[in-house]
Amino acid sequence: MSDSLLRVTGVAKRFGPVVTARDVSFEVAAGEALGLVGPNGAGKTTLLDIVGGTQRADAGTVVLDGRDITRLGAAARADRGIARSYQVPRPFGGLTVYENVLVGASFAGQRHARTGPADDAGAQAWHALEVTGMTEVANTPSGSLRLLDRKRLEVARALATRPRLLLLDEIAGGLTDRELPQVVRLVRSLRDDGVAVVWIEHVLHALLDVVDRLMCLAAGEVIAQGDPHDVIRSPEVIEVYLGSTVDAVTDPAPDPATTPPGETA
């Protein structure tokens, strides 16, 4: 299986009596988008932490591009092309929006000098702001941003590292009907450009619009993974969702997220 970019095998993690990951295994191919769903507390964010390197798994391995990165820290993984957005935004409050993004552009990958000299960090940062529509607030201190802009900044910062694998943690929650299609288009264009994406999202119709595969976690275990529409219809998934969310999905109202890319919102 040399064509999988990310291979997670048998990952386990517990906090005292609480199991947040139990024998979790999955793969993501280059340029593939994997959706991650599950009820609150299912261990979705923990899984991203383990892949991103901000938490160590108790057991199991994480392999990126055939290389075992289980023991690497977050910075070394960022260097190898893994980027991460946080569900609860973590801006560098003392820096402007541009400088926040410049951190991503200046550090990850630069040590290996594969992306050219650090001189183009500025260009890379600016580009990330353009793609996420944040150029207007480039000089704003990030500590004074609205919540939605903070979430957008999370994505911009991650993009500025020019990742090969992008881990997104609930970037669509709270977006308006106008903004949602923009996010969907952004993620889709990233994937089409060859970036692998793992996306945790409660806004299911946005997720289903982009992802190639879907994985459902419950109580730290993978209860279903595969074709997105099969997964959301599987009895196990319906059971953990107690029907409510599934109703919304199986009976989709005409929603703006399905607007084809390229059309103006």
Partner 1 sequence: MSGPAAVAPSTPPATPPTAPTVTRGGRGSWVGGGAMLLVVVLLAAVVPYAVTLGALSSLVMLFALVILGTTWNLLAGYGGMVSVGQQAYVGVGGYALIQLADAVGAPPWAAVLAAGLVGAAIALPTSYLVFRLAGGYFAIGTWVVAEVFRLVTMQIDGLGGGTGLSLSAFRGTDRVERVAFVYWFALALMVAVVLGTYLLMRSRVGLGLTAIRDDRVAASSLGVAVDRGRRLVYVAGSAGAALAGALIALSTLGVTPGSIYSVNWTAAMIFIVVVGGIGTIEGPIVGAVLYWVLQQALAPLGTWYLVVLGAVAVAVVLLAPRGLWGLAAGRYQLFPTTHHVRPLAASATVAPRTGR
Residue 185 interacting with partner 1 (CB under 8 A): no
- Which positions from 11 through 70 interact with partner 1, judged by CB under 8 A? 30, 52-54, 65
If one counts every other C-beta atom within 10 angstroms of the C-beta of residue 75, the result is 12
Nearer to partner 1, 193 or 263 (CB): 193
Residues 59 and 10 sit within 8 Å (Cβ to Cβ):
yes
Nearer to partner 1, 31 or 41 (CB): 31
Binding mask 107-146 for partner 1 (x = CB under 8 A): xxxxxx-xxx-xxxxxxx-xx--xx---xx-xx-------
Least Å distance, CB 185 to partner 1, is 11
Nearer to partner 1, 111 or 229 (CB): 111
Residues 4 and 198 sit within 8 Å (Cβ to Cβ):
no
Nearer to partner 1, 112 or 229 (CB): 112
Least Å distance, CB 181 to partner 1, is 17
Least Å distance, CB 149 to partner 1, is 16
Supply φ then ψ for residue 188, to 5 degrees: -65, -40
Residue 72 interacting with partner 1 (CB under 8 A): no
> Among 98, 87, 1, 107, which Cα is nearest to 47's?
87
Least Å distance, CB 152 to partner 1, is 15
Supply φ then ψ for residue 2, to 5 degrees: -85, -10
The stretch among 20-28, 32-40, 92-100, 198-206 that binds partner 1 (CB under 8 A) is 92-100
Please tell me what DSSP assigns to residue 232. H
Dihedral sign (CA 169, 95, 135, 160): negative
Residue 80 interacting with partner 1 (CB under 8 A): yes
Q: Measure the CA–CA gap between 35 and 226, rounded to whole angstroms.
A: 10
Output the DSSP codes for 236-262: HHHHHHTTHHHHHHHS----GGGSPTT
Provide the total of helices (H) and of strands (E) in the chain, helices listed first. 10, 10
Q: What angle do CA 180, 126, 117 make, to 5 degrees?
A: 130
Residue 92 interacting with partner 1 (CB under 8 A): yes
Residue 74 interacting with partner 1 (CB under 8 A): yes
Looking at 20, 44, 51, 79, which residue binds partner 1 (CB under 8 A)?
79
Side chain identity, residue 62? V
> Which spans of this chain sit near partner 1 (rule: CB under 8 A)?
30, 52-54, 65, 73-75, 78-81, 83-84, 86, 90-96, 98-100, 102-104, 106-112, 114-116, 118-124, 126-127, 130-131, 135-136, 138-139, 157-164, 189-190, 193-195
